[in-house]
Amino acid sequence: MELFQLSLLCICGVFLFLMVGKYDSSYSLLACLLLGLFLLEKTCGYVRNLLEGLAVFREKLAGTGDFSELLLKAIGCTFVTSFASNLCRDAGYGGLAVQMETVGKVYLLLLSLPVVIALLRILEGLC
């Protein structure tokens, strides 16, 4: 239900920004930034709850602590990259958004290297 309310708030905000933007775009931008900060604060609360839940999950996977930490880093990387690239794209800097996405993909590949190496060692042991 809370997600529905936040979605409705964003839709109403967009209509408000469009109406106010006709008269003064600086007020529209300010209101958009304030709504964005409010949504970011809500997201931080959700992430806090998610991390608490993942801590329980991590305890259950006691022997695979390195990989669960890697999974958390990868999830965080995708969210941060997506947020930054969408922000750049919305501001009209599509080229910068593409570069940000490329950096995120390369970073994910870098993060996945230990998993690939461990998989190769397992396969090597089977032969």
Model pLDDT for residues 5-54, shown as the tens digit of each residue: 888 888 888 888 888 888 888 888 888 888 888 888 888 888 888 878 87
Residues 71, 103 within the same domain: yes
Residues 75, 127 within the same domain: yes
Q: What is the extent of the structural domain holding 27?
A: 1-60
Give the domain-ending residue among 21, 37, 60.
60
Give the domain-ending residue among 60, 77, 96.
60
Q: How many other CB atoms are found less than 10 A from the CB of residue 90?
A: 12
What's at 87, amino acid-wise? L
Residues 68, 125 within the same domain: yes
| 67 vs 36: CA distance, rounded Å | 32
Tokens 């209509």 found at? 15
Mean pLDDT of the chain: 83
Residues 42, 92 within the same domain: no
Residues 68, 126 within the same domain: yes
Number of domains in the chain: 2
- In this prediction, residue 107 carries a pLDDT of 92
Residues 12, 32 within the same domain: yes
- Residue 56 tokens, joined: 């329980």
